[in-house]
Amino acid sequence: MVKIRLKRLGAKRNPIYRIIVIDSREKREGKAIEELGFYNPRKKELKIDKEKALGWVKKGAQPSETVKYLIDNSSEAGTLVRKPVVEEKKISKKAKAKLESEKSTAAAA
């Protein structure tokens, strides 16, 4: 069976992955049939040839869960689509209580 999965590269604690098409019996770093792109999780960089990946899926290749997620969340250009991160300011319990009391008094008035 042919799989589309990640091949780990990079130094210790600094992984970089190649997205490859490979026979399922091969090792993780075994010889690939074809390379489709790369993924750097630390910098959230992704470059993938989406057309080739979908072509392999049509031929019967099974993508891993991670690769399927990356293909689904990549744009047409093959880059990762990042959703905007909304950061909430962390405040203490006393500050939260004070804000809630101010809101309730403003609502009552």
**In the chain, how many domains are there?**
1
CATH of the domain at 32: 3.30.1320.10
Q: 58 is in which domain, residue-wise?
A: 2-72
Q: How confident is the model at residue 15 (pLDDT cuts 50, 70, 90)?
A: very high
Residue 91 lies inside a defined structural domain of this protein = no
In a domain, 107, yes or no: no
**Residue 92: predicted pLDDT:** 86
pLDDT of residue 104: 85
pTM of the model: 0.68
Q: At what angle do helices 65-72 and 50-59 cross, to 10 degrees?
A: 130
29-67: per-residue pLDDT in tens? 889 999 999 999 888 889 999 899 999 999 999 999 999
Domain membership of residue 62 (yes or no) is yes
- Compute the average pLDDT of residues 88-105: 85
Decide: residue 26, CB within 10 A, 0-12 exposed, 13-18 middle, 19+ buried.
middle
What is the per-residue pLDDT for 39? 93
Mean pLDDT within 77-83: 63
DSSP class of residue 78?
S
Is 100 a member of any domain? no
Kindly report the backbone phi and psi dihedral angles of residue 3, in degrees, each rounded to the nearest multiple of 5, phi listed first. Answer: -120, 155
